[in-house]
Amino acid sequence: MAGDNSTAGALDGILVADFSRVLAGPYATMMLADMGAEVVKVERPGAGDDTRHWGPPYGPDGQATYFAGVNRNKRSVSIDLHSEEGLARAKELAAKADVVVQNFRPGVMERLGLDYATVAASNPGVVYASLSGFGTSPEGASLGGYDLVVQAVGGMMSVTGQDADHPVKVGVAVIDVLTGLHLGMGILTALYHRTATGLGQHVETDLMSCSLASLVNQSAAYAGAGTVAKPLGNRHPSIAPYEVFRTAAGELAVAAGNDSLYRRFCGVLELPELVDDPRFRTNPERVAHRDELIPVIEERLATRTADEWFELLREVGVPAGPVNDMAGAFSFAERLGLDPVVDVEGSRSVRNPVRMSATPATYRSPAPRLS
């Protein structure tokens, strides 16, 4: 489906000088670009962003799909920040930008004279967004911030996988994505503040902090109660049944998140005896007796396919669905009318997930070639 570019974006007129690379920063700036901002992506001459070379796979235009997935609607400029001429161009861009985004290691922009204090001296309205792996303390600044490492040291691997002996990373660089979203929220908040005061500010976040915040109930359990979570595979530490089950064909995710849903679930499975069993009557009891409950459910689910159970469960409003691969996921979204793919000048891209009635996302250009 082609993108609709007829409506002005909410961020039309906002100039973003994007000095970020790889994923978290570029994801944040692409979200801003989708909403109308003009994003100028500063890249190394002859090489560009690292993700330009992270392939296969490659799209029909030969670009790495990794790079294309987080850099649409941007304009690329090659600037050598180590040359006098290039640095002058970069400073000129920062001086007129509404937003500057950078994810160099702490200290690099200071050495270049492109840090917040220097840029704000001549551009007091600038919203300057800095992204790091582990913060700006001497200990944190010395560490390289890659998603795999942060998933390890930040606790996410410790709650992912089947058991504590085999920690597993999430199948996508989820900390980078979540950090990009946090950074984008900080930028938008600072822009809103600027409309009232005329003044910009320094927005900072880091992968480690965003990892801890994004672990939500697991990190809250430790911060609030000292509880150290363990991996439960596809199970939930506080809800049952809330996991993935084998069926006669395919696997089925079921999220019976309250007692009413559990009763409806048992009704579809034709297992009324599980409703009033004192071991399973309430959610805390089901969690405590999960190892007795789950085998009974699994035995019944083995009598139909995942798709058959999905149709039966959706009729009574029980959250459930088959476990899809990427092709199945896109097909599922299409069936729901979500139009997950947009065509941007012949390049297929994943639709921005935010829908706005007055100022929707626009899709003006695919990821740029290196200038």
Burial 13-42 (b: 16+ CB within 10 A, else e): ebebbbbbbbbbbbbbbbbbbbbbbbbbbb
Alpha helix ranges (H) inside the chain: 24-34, 65-68, 84-96, 108-112, 116-122, 138-141, 147-153, 174-197, 207-214, 216-225, 259-269, 273-276, 283-288, 290-301, 306-315, 326-335
Closest CA to 32 of 44, 21, 40, 43: 40
Q: Are residues 21 and 68 in contact, defined by beta-carbon separation less than 8 angstroms?
A: no
Closest CA to 101 of 16, 194, 23, 35: 16
Please give the Cα distance from 158 to 215 (Å, whole number). 11
Q: Is the dihedral of CA 323, 329, 331, 333 positive or negative?
A: positive
Q: Is 176 an annotated catalytic residue?
A: yes
Please give the Cα distance from 16 to 74 (Å, whole number). 10
Task: Write down the catalytic residue from 18, 49, 176, 206.
Answer: 176
Q: Which two tokens stand for residue 156?
A: 């996410």
Q: Are residues 268 and 216 in contact, defined by beta-carbon separation less than 8 angstroms?
A: no
Burial 63-96 (b: 16+ CB within 10 A, else e): bbbbbbbbbbbbebbbbebeeeebbebbbebbee
Beta strand 15-18 with 38-43 is parallel
In three-state secondary structure terms, 132 is strand
Catalytic residue numbers read 176
